[in-house]
Amino acid sequence: MPQVTLNVQLLETTQDPVSVLYSAYRQCYSAEFAADLLKEDFKKQEEFVKKMAGSGHESPLEHVKFTFAVEGVSRVLTHQLVRHRIASYSQQSQRYVKESDFDFIIPPSIEEDEGLKSRFIETMSKIQTGYNEMLKALAEKGRTHEGANEDARFVLPQAVETKIVVTMNCRELLHFFQERCCARAQWEIRNMAWKMLLICRDRLPAVFGNAGAKCISLGYCPEGERFTCRAYPLKEEVLKRRRAASRP
């Protein structure tokens, strides 16, 4: 039952995403048929998509999607992830996959303290022993393989490693990055979001070149004095400066 680390890989993305987005955007403003609109070269298509996406016209972004394979994450992370409902998920089942030697994730605050880390690993080991004993006892009572797994899993901790396939369209990904790349986001899902963002930036910079936490697009921090990381000025500070600059 070793400690594991995050791994994010792109499984698939929409073929020719720039052309798809270009056609979708142009269709909104053209009497021509979308399939006949691909007359510009790639660079001009990319510039047009970047301009339109940057203008706040987001609905055409739903035509392009990314599918990621993720491993080395905890159930803590996936409980947060599935709150993003405009997406598709396929997660490793604890009913069909036996956790007789489960892997786990250790939070950095515990990882850096040898005493806490030792206690954490010891706790995982005790839970593992209890889970395996539960499986055996349920099997002896005649429970099927899946039946024993589905009941024994109630003792498993949220630190247990899980694997998941995630599909989101570009519009939802932008929202996901706004929320989860923020310094206020929980550390584990923030790390995953940044890995996904770097992949998206590489594959589709016209849409994701300036993506990230909300402050990047807003130019100010909307979190307020209590929660700001100070990477950007607070909204109130920006408005105050603008008001002062507008006075004669």
Q: Are residues 174 and 72 in the same domain?
A: yes
Q: Which residue has the higher pLDDT, 146 or 120?
A: 120
> What pLDDT does 240 receive?
82
Domains in the chain, number: 3
Q: Are residues 126 and 166 in the same domain?
A: no
> What pLDDT does 217 receive?
85
Q: Are residues 135 and 226 in the same domain?
A: no
Which one is catalytic: 180, 184, 203, 242?
A: 180
Q: Which residue has the higher pLDDT, 1 or 69?
A: 69
User: Who's near 29: CB < 8 A, 6+ residues apart?
Assistant: none
Q: Please tell me whether residue 168 adopts helix, strand or coil conformation.
A: strand
Q: Are residues 247 and 192 in the same domain?
A: no
Whether pLDDT at 163 is above 80: yes
What is the domain extent for residue 86?
Answer: 7-90+161-212
Residue 1 pLDDT grade (very low, low, confident, very high; cuts 50, 70, 90): low
> What pLDDT does 248 receive?
72
Q: Are residues 191 and 133 in the same domain?
A: no
> What pLDDT does 3 receive?
77
2, part of any domain: no
Cα separation, 34 vs 51, in Å, equals 19
Q: Are residues 167 and 200 in the same domain?
A: yes
85 is catalytic: no
Whether pLDDT at 79 is above 90: yes
Question: pLDDT tens-digit profile of 196-220?
Answer: 999 999 999 999 999 999 998 888 8
HEC per residue, 129-160: HHHHHHHHHHHHCCCCHHHHHHHHHHHCCCCE
Q: Are residues 52 and 86 in the same domain?
A: yes
Given 138, 155, 172, which residue is the final one in a domain?
Answer: 155
As a whole number, mean pLDDT of residues 80-93 equals 97
In the chain, % of residues over pLDDT 90 = 81
User: Who's near 212: CB < 8 A, 6+ residues apart?
Assistant: 177, 178, 181, 197
Q: Are residues 173 and 70 in the same domain?
A: yes
Q: Are residues 63 and 166 in the same domain?
A: yes
Q: Which residue has the higher pLDDT, 35 or 112?
A: 112
- CATH of residue 202's domain is 3.30.1360.170
Q: Are residues 83 and 165 in the same domain?
A: yes
Q: Are 181 and 190 in contact (CB under 8 A)?
A: yes
Model's pTM, two decimal places?
Answer: 0.92
Q: Are 14 and 20 in contact (CB under 8 A)?
A: yes
Q: Are residues 83 and 11 in the same domain?
A: yes
Whether pLDDT at 80 is above 80: yes
